Amino acid sequence: MKSNSWIIYTLMVVLTWGVWGGISAYPTQKYSFPDQWIYIIWSITMLIPCYFTLKGKKIDFSAKAIMYGLAIGFTGAGGQLLLFKTLGMGAPAYLVFPIISISPAITVIMSLVILKERINFLGTVGIFLALLSIIAFSISQGDGTKISGSLWLVFSIIICLAWGLQAFFMKRASNHQVEDSSIFFYMTLTGIVLAPIAYMMIPDKSISYPVAAYTITAATQVLNAVGALFLVMALSRGKAIIVAPCTNALAPVLTAVISLVLYQTLPSTYALIGIILAITGSTIMVYSEEKASNAAVQPML
């Protein structure tokens, strides 16, 4: 019987990343805490889940593990650094995270073509709706949302592409028998390697911030780090074509609810359309592939 443990890990990703997404911008908004410092603290918090997942296990130093590990790490950490920059620009979480949620389209397409994972007509419709949401977000820039320029949208799309590739690399590494613990070790390593770059990007290093800024940032980024580990575990146990859309569709729902409650800011009309398209498209992909998977294991009568 096929194990459904991937469902538990997927739900844990949704919970940790959903909460993290809703409160991640608080240190910047409350204390003007630089996004570069947020990235540095995030890279350090990665050591916590890394310690627990490596406990009693050996790190895989084979060329295959290093290659996939660094590819996963740099696409993830690079996207993370850019995300903090994007949120620091003032882009609201309820716009940024739904755009990022479209990243399963990248993962699904690559899994379909390279990993030969199957997708049906409904799944294709889901991808199409998700891509349409990008257009809606682009239109929303001129509808009264107070965001300067369009750079935040460009950054969000780049993050989307990077994280779509990252999820694909995670599944590909798992298919090549690279253990979860080793994958996460390289993710942690690359995150820390990029930390000095983040430090050099700090505009004014002489400014001191209250202890609360560091503490709150560390607490929120632990959620982010733990969620990343759960994603690795979910992808190693389930199909990328299901796990990636599920995590990226459901986490923004929780994020949007938390953001709207905390900041009491309603999305514009086009932004709301973008959110609906992104979530609907991802949900259709999840439903269609899960239905196909269940049909495939039905016993013949």
Does a structural domain hold residue 79?
Answer: yes
Cα 49 from chain centroid (whole Å): 17
Angle at which helices 47-54 and 211-237 cross, to 10°: 40
Residues spanned by the domain of 274: 5-295
Does a structural domain hold residue 156?
Answer: yes
Does a structural domain hold residue 48?
Answer: yes
The pLDDT of residue 145 is: 47
Q: How far, in Å, are 72, 169, 280, 294 from residue 299 at the CA level? A: 38, 33, 31, 10
The pLDDT of residue 68 is: 95
Q: Which two tokens stand for residue 282?
A: 């991802």
Does a structural domain hold residue 193?
Answer: yes
Q: How many domains does the chain have?
A: 1
Q: How far is Cα 94 from Cα 96, in angstroms, rounded to an integer?
A: 6
61 contact partners, CB below 8 Å, separation of at least 6: none
Q: How far, in Å, are 47, 56, 220, 222, 256 from residue 189 at the CA level? A: 9, 19, 20, 16, 31
Q: How far is Cα 296 from Cα 90, in angstroms, rounded to an integer?
A: 46
**Minimal CA–CA distance to 108: which of 164, 166, 172, 173?**
164
The pLDDT of residue 284 is: 80
pLDDT tens profile 160-217: 899 889 999 999 999 999 999 999 999 999 999 999 989 987 888 889 999 999 999 9
**10-residue block means of pLDDT along the chain (301 residues)?**
72 90 82 89 96 93 94 91 76 71 81 80 76 62 51 86 92 93 96 92 87 94 94 90 76 72 70 77 70 59 45
Does a structural domain hold residue 196?
Answer: yes
The pLDDT of residue 156 is: 85
Q: How far is Cα 144 from Cα 146, in angstroms, rounded to an integer?
A: 6
Does a structural domain hold residue 172?
Answer: yes
Does a structural domain hold residue 301?
Answer: no
The pLDDT of residue 25 is: 78
Which helix (DSSP H) or strand (DSSP E) does residue 116 occupy? none
